[in-house]
Structure 1
Amino acid sequence: MTGATGRAAPGQGTGPSPAPAWRAPAATRSNALPAGAWWLWALGLATAASRTTNPLLLGLLVGVAGYVVAARRTDAPWARSYGAFIKIGLFVIGVRLLFSVFLGSPVPGTHVLFTLPEVPLPDWAKGVRIGGRVTAEQLLFALYDGAKLATLLICVGAANSLANPARLLKSLPGALYEAGVAVVVAMTFAPNMVTDVVRLRTARRLRGRATGGIGAVLQIGLPVLEGALERSVAVAASMDARGYGRTAQVPAAVRHTTNVLTLGGLLGVCAGTYGLLAAQGAVYGLPLLIAGLAAAMAGLRLGGARSVRTRYRPDRWGVRAWLVAGSGAAVAVAMIWAGSADPAALHPGVVPLTAPVLPLWPAAAVLIGLLPALVAPVPPSPTGFEEQV
């Protein structure tokens, strides 16, 4: 019974209240997002990053990717690789700046910061210099260029941290199964190796041993390589037990047609993608990409006849998966349109030196990439979730 105030009497629990309909549910095996949705979302952000050198927009893209990763990643080994991609991005920026300092830059500048001794080169090496003066304009140009490449790597790292490689393998067509297994093994090798390095460094630190220096690196590297070889042998044994590489017999004409369609389609996809990423190829990029996708899909459909494998519990694309993939596509489309409407806002000038300005509506379009943090299922317990998947 309840009292006059409407409260439940002692000992009569009402049970947990149901979550609101708009709130993302807890992730389970049945409603987990397909890995392809995460990759499409990340590739959309990467496409947007390739269209701008504005450091404010690039920083916003990195922040969006980082927030989604922090909100929706699990505790699997591959989910811990996002920090490694950030470090790689910072390394790329540093290397780009060093190249600009020591090898020069075609960007003219008047604000000389310092001058290095210049190495004389023969006449046949005109246009190339080593050393010389270093200007603020060339360093700023190198910083913008390196930041763009670093953002691309970080977006790929976000997809690698959120997408389960095993689920991605299940989504591949039968014709790409063998290549997909090789890619998945390569994608899981690096995160596992990073985990082994962290574990061994922690163990050495607890024992009071040094974790830096050449000697420590050699002592840590040997167990890491040994663990990698053991995992390789275990993977090879499991693949052999499951009949990996077994194919069906198909006519020679079908095989040749499959090869032509697949290779031609992939070439068309590469050329069309380059056209979309390059500012000059936006006209022919989309038609070539569509034609390449059609040819590649036809080739993969024919090539799937050689595969005799079955698919257990295939991933299904629901509304949430389409929202995640669509948010990345929306960011890419908005940035491409902004590049044609107002290119100066996406590419701040360095000659003369000008401070970058944050364009409002492209920045608002980038914020659409936060949608996965709201609609994607929430892993309730990272360890338990990975055991279910």
Structure 2
Amino acid sequence: MTRSKTEPAPTPRYRPAPRHRPPARLHPGAWWLWALALGTAATRTTNPLLLALLLTTSAYVVLTCRPDTPWSRSYSAFLHLALAVLLIRLLFVVALGSPVPGTHVILTLPEVPLPDWAQGIRLGGKVTAEGVLFALYDGLRLATLLVCVGAANALASPSRLLKSLPGALYEAGVAAVVALTFAPHLIADVQRLRAARRLRGRPDRGLRGLLQVALPVLEGALERSIALAAAMDARGYGRTADVPAPVRRTTAALTLGGLLGVCAGTYGLLTAVGGAYGLPVLLAGLAAALAGLRLGGRRSPRTRYRPDRWTPRACLVAGSGIAVAALLFAAASTDPAALRPGVIPLTAPTLPLWPTAAILVGLLPAFLAPASLARAARRKEPS
């Protein structure tokens, strides 16, 4: 069939270019479970090599997966806080002494005589290498725990984490989220004001710069607090639904009994005497506490817009951190000397093989998180 000369040619059908669909967002609870599990693993060892490996693992995941948001910039603040904690711990050992006896004297400070009621405390005196090394190991463990908490704060969105909490923890979750977002917003305000002063040719360092930056930061914090209070009141914060009295009593009994069971089970796991009953009591306490939270959610019914789902990727991210903690718990019971090197006599710490491999499992989120996959998808898109 031929087309006449006056008939217009058919318009070609428009086909949009295929675009890579960005992966789904990761559940914020997965990041917190991963980071808290790494922090739990840090509490099981004082080996500086393993602690440095934990710090490197958390830092690599944060640099790879953190989004470009105000709260993601708080990781550097936690690094400075961890460094300050480590330096203060060493300063206390130098000034107040160490309970660890040592024979290798580094320096001798003038000792201040104290009255009889202050026996057991000294100011100055001999500073030994064993005491300084013991304080370094102990302070590095606390610093690693703080950095892991900073990694969770940099990777997980506080508002999305609040949406994922059960209804019974909503009010406590709001208070926690406001406390967690205070530091990131404060850091962002300070950086913004210092950049503005530098553009105007005014000093932004020293005591004078600090005083002139502190007042606008305080004013912005007060304005943000007033806006937050108005928004919470408009959304009915603190209002609860009517629940029958038996349900309230059952909720209180389950929650309180579950928390006591969790405490007793955790104590049993941490001691050698309660190893037989620790795990069953812990599991029973967790089940009772979860049931109490489920019943308590009836007091504050809420709807969620686009709730975050526990995808297989989120489960793998959380499971990698839990695996690190579980493997280090097992290594601490089978080979405690490798995870807790002694300082008397002075010996160099060694890097055990299996705990090292266990910590490297924590790098799994760097290859599974949506941020890294989204960057790879944008690189593959045609220009």
Fold match (TM-score > 0.5)? yes
* Alignment match, 1:227: 220
- Alpha-carbon deviations, 1:58-83, whole Å to 9, x = none? 00001000111111100111111111
Q: Is residue 286 from structure 1 mapped to residue 282 from structure 2 by the alignment?
A: no
Which amino acid in structure 2 is aligned with residue 377 of structure 1?
P
* Alignment match, 1:208: 201
Q: 1:278 to 1:323 in 2, by over 3 A?
A: farther
Q: Superposition pairs for residues 51-70 of structure 1, below 5 Å?
A: 51-70=44-63
Q: How far 1:375 moved relative to its partner?
A: 1.2
Q: 1:35 to 1:273 in 2, by over 3 A?
A: farther
Could you tell me how far apart the structure 1 residues matched to 2:187 and 2:289 are? Answer: 35
Q: Secondary structure at the match of 1:37?
A: helix
Q: Superposition pairs for residues 96-175 of structure 1, below 5 Å?
A: 96-175=89-168
Q: Is residue 308 from structure 1 mapped to residue 301 from structure 2 by the alignment?
A: yes
Q: How far 1:249 moved relative to its partner?
A: 1.1
Which amino acid in structure 1 is aligned with residue 22 of structure 2?
A
Q: 1:335 to 1:130 in 2, by over 3 A?
A: same
Preserved contact between residue 86 and residue 140 of structure 2 (Cα < 8 Å): yes
Q: Superposition pairs for residues 253-292 of structure 1, below 5 Å?
A: 253-273=246-266, 276=269, 284-292=277-285
Q: 1:139 to 1:303 in 2, by over 3 A?
A: same
Q: 1:17 to 1:179 in 2, by over 3 A?
A: closer
* Alignment match, 2:6: none
* Alignment match, 1:178: 171
* Alignment match, 2:325: 332
Could you tell me how far apart the structure 1 residues matched to 2:101 and 2:278 are? Answer: 32
Q: 1:86 to 1:274 in 2, by over 3 A?
A: farther
Q: Superposition pairs for residues 229-248 of structure 1, below 5 Å?
A: 229-248=222-241
- Alpha-carbon deviations, 1:23-55, whole Å to 9, x = none? xx834xxx1111111111111111110000001
**Worse overlay, 146-155 or 306-315:** 306-315
Q: Secondary structure at the match of 1:81?
A: helix
* Alignment match, 1:349: 342
Q: How far 1:179 moved relative to its partner?
A: 0.7
Preserved contact between residue 266 and residue 292 of structure 1 (Cα < 8 Å): yes
Could you tell me how far apart the structure 2 residues matched to 1:215 and 1:224 are? Answer: 15
Q: Secondary structure at the match of 2:126?
A: strand
Q: How far 1:285 moved relative to its partner?
A: 4.3
Q: Secondary structure at the match of 1:115?
A: strand
Could you tell me how far apart the structure 2 residues matched to 1:201 and 1:373 are? Answer: 33
Preserved contact between residue 47 and residue 277 of structure 1 (Cα < 8 Å): no
Which amino acid in structure 1 is aligned with residue 58 of structure 2?
A
* Alignment match, 2:22: 26
Which amino acid in structure 2 is aligned with residue 116 of structure 1?
L
Preserved contact between residue 118 and residue 129 of structure 1 (Cα < 8 Å): yes
Could you tell me how far apart the structure 2 residues matched to 1:276 and 1:182 are? Answer: 31
Q: 1:62 to 1:372 in 2, by over 3 A?
A: same
Preserved contact between residue 90 and residue 132 of structure 2 (Cα < 8 Å): yes
Matched length: 361
Q: How far 1:170 moved relative to its partner?
A: 1.3
Which amino acid in structure 2 is aligned with residue 294 of structure 1?
A
Which amino acid in structure 2 is aligned with residue 26 of structure 1?
P
- Alpha-carbon deviations, 1:308-344, whole Å to 9, x = none? 2212222111110110011001100110111111111
Could you tell me how far apart the structure 1 residues matched to 2:306 and 2:275 are? Answer: 39
Could you tell me how far apart the structure 2 residues matched to 1:311 and 1:96 are? Answer: 45
Unmatched segments (≥5 aa) in structure 1: 1-12, 19-24, 382-389
* Alignment match, 2:181: 188
Unmatched segments (≥5 aa) in structure 2: 1-14, 376-383
- Alpha-carbon deviations, 1:186-219, whole Å to 9, x = none? 1111100100001111111222222222222111
Could you tell me how far apart the structure 2 residues matched to 1:47 and 1:281 are? Answer: 20
Could you tell me how far apart the structure 2 residues matched to 1:271 and 1:79 are? Answer: 36
Could you tell me how far apart the structure 2 residues matched to 1:118 and 1:281 are? Answer: 44
Preserved contact between residue 109 and residue 124 of structure 2 (Cα < 8 Å): yes
* Alignment match, 1:3: none
TM-score (norm 2): 0.89
Could you tell me how far apart the structure 2 residues matched to 1:322 and 1:176 are? Answer: 22
Sequence identity (%): 70
* Alignment match, 1:7: none
Q: Is residue 250 from structure 1 mapped to residue 243 from structure 2 by the alignment?
A: yes
Could you tell me how far apart the structure 1 residues matched to 2:307 and 2:55 are? Answer: 32
Q: Secondary structure at the match of 1:378?
A: helix
Q: How far 1:106 moved relative to its partner?
A: 0.8
Q: How far 1:256 moved relative to its partner?
A: 3.0
Q: 1:161 to 1:272 in 2, by over 3 A?
A: farther
Preserved contact between residue 26 and residue 378 of structure 1 (Cα < 8 Å): no
Preserved contact between residue 47 and residue 339 of structure 2 (Cα < 8 Å): yes
Preserved contact between residue 175 and residue 303 of structure 1 (Cα < 8 Å): yes
Q: Is residue 296 from structure 1 mapped to residue 289 from structure 2 by the alignment?
A: yes
- Alpha-carbon deviations, 1:236-277, whole Å to 9, x = none? 121122122221111233223322322332343345446556
Could you tell me how far apart the structure 2 residues matched to 1:214 and 1:342 are? Answer: 51
Could you tell me how far apart the structure 2 residues matched to 1:350 and 1:360 are? Answer: 21
Q: Secondary structure at the match of 1:353?
A: coil
Which amino acid in structure 1 is aligned with residue 340 of structure 2?
H
Preserved contact between residue 246 and residue 308 of structure 1 (Cα < 8 Å): no
Aligned with residue 365 of structure 2, among 361, 372, 382:
372
Could you tell me how far apart the structure 1 residues matched to 2:348 and 2:277 are? Answer: 34
Q: 1:76 to 1:270 in 2, by over 3 A?
A: farther
